[in-house]
Amino acid sequence: MQILQYTLRRLLYLLPVIFGVSFVIFILFNVVLGDPTPILLGKNATLKQIEELRHQLGLDRSWLMQYLDVVKSAFTFDFGISWSTKQKISDIIISRAYPSLTLTLPAFVISTTFSILISLFVAYYRGRGIDTFVRVLCIALMSISSLVYILFFQWFFAFHLEWFEISGYEPGFPDFLAYTTLPGIIWIVLSIGPDVRFFRTVMLDEIYQDYVRTARAKGLREVTILLKHVLRNALVPIITYVVIQIPFLILGALLLESFFGIPGLGGVILEAINSSDFPVIKAFAILTSIVYIVFNLITDVLYAVVDPRIKLH
């Protein structure tokens, strides 16, 4: 009951935050960036053509009405029409979200799970050779450019061994697995380095706490201490680290999608930037902000679920 009351109260608190975020986005796109019509029409556009396009795009209305449009889109997720494709932006996002999520969501879940398990393993063998080896390996994985992984994996696993498709995408399960497995593996390899280093540090901070020494004094096995006590107390920073990354999954994996020809949201953003399609860019800015705010709320609620000592006010 307390969690429900807290959630409802926080949802009310989110309203002024959403208005504030909408105002910042409005200032950035409608005021700071200025009039985009000369960019869309080119250098040789006449004043009449510019005025006509401004009227078509609704840029000749007052700033208050344009700001209210931004606020409305934040609540209704109706982002209007794309300037370049003339399609509804919400339809574009929905149609392109599926390919992105079939890549990013499984890869994110698998990489996070593996990283936590590896971190528990090296925490158990802390200070030994295997711990040092994993730390050095993590640094090595982080030091190599993502482009190197993409090009090598494409050449070796897709071209040379022919285990996966080099490029393209087929919707529907399990057809998409032939196209998303290899970029998913690359995502996992790129994520494990920083994830393991963070999770390991968090767990080692807990291992040296007094309650762990007390548990050892009571004769509990080290594995039991790690799984039942250390991991549970380390979940608060782990949840923060993991949940904060989830909103950005909706943006897709721009580099991976580009190299593997996956028609996801990353390509939409790139196309919008190249064509100065401000409504699409603005839509992604609004959507990412809203999802980020909501997942911050989810993070706070999860704190109380995993740690009863945390009181929700």
**Cα–Cα distance measured from residue 213 to residue 35, given in angstroms and rounded to the nearest whole number:** 65
* Confidence band for 307, pLDDT divided at 50, 70 and 90: low
Class of domain 97-275: mainly alpha
In this model, does residue 287 exceed pLDDT 80? yes
Q: Which residue has the higher pLDDT, 182 or 300?
A: 182
Percent of the chain's residues with pLDDT above 90: 9
- Between helix 89-124 and helix 177-207 the angle, nearest 10°, is 50
Indicate the range of 101-105, 179-183, 193-197, 225-229 predicted with least confidence: 225-229
Quote the pLDDT of residue 241. Answer: 87
pLDDT tens per residue across span 200-229: 888 888 888 888 788 888 878 878 888 788
Quote the pLDDT of residue 112. Answer: 92
Indicate the range of 48-57, 218-227, 280-289 predicted with least confidence: 48-57
Q: Which residue has the higher pLDDT, 146 or 58?
A: 146
Torsion-angle region of 170 (φ positive above 0: left; ψ -120 to 50: alpha; else: beta): beta
Task: Report CA torsion sign: 124, 128, 132, 133.
Answer: negative
* Confidence band for 278, pLDDT divided at 50, 70 and 90: confident
Q: Where are the domains of the chain?
A: 12-81, 97-275
Indicate the range of 19-28, 129-138, 217-226 predicted with least confidence: 217-226
CB 73 within 8 A of CB 79: yes
Percent of the chain's residues with pLDDT above 70: 92
CB count within 10 Å of CB 140 equals: 10
**Cα–Cα distance measured from residue 238 to residue 235, given in angstroms and rounded to the nearest whole number:** 5
**Six token digits for residue 212:** 């762990």
CB count within 10 Å of CB 15 equals: 10
Quote the pLDDT of residue 209. Answer: 81
**Can you list the positions of beta strands (E) in the chain?**
none
The residue-averaged pLDDT of 36-41 equals 70
Amino acid at 60: D
**Cα–Cα distance measured from residue 212 to residue 220, given in angstroms and rounded to the nearest whole number:** 10
The residue-averaged pLDDT of 182-191 equals 91
* Confidence band for 107, pLDDT divided at 50, 70 and 90: very high
**Cα–Cα distance measured from residue 308 to residue 233, given in angstroms and rounded to the nearest whole number:** 11
> Integer distance in angstroms from the first to the last C-alpha of the chain?
12
Task: Please spell the DSSP secondary structure of 217-261, one letter per residue.
Answer: HTT--HHHIIIIIIHHHHHHHHHHHHHHHGGGGGG--HHHHHHHT
In this model, does residue 82 exceed pLDDT 70? yes
In this model, does residue 311 exceed pLDDT 70? no
CB 112 within 8 A of CB 104: no
Indicate the range of 46-50, 90-94, 173-177, 181-185 predicted with least confidence: 46-50
Looking at every residue in the chain, the average pLDDT score rounds to 82
Closest to 186 in 3D by CA, of 275, 111, 136, 284 = 111
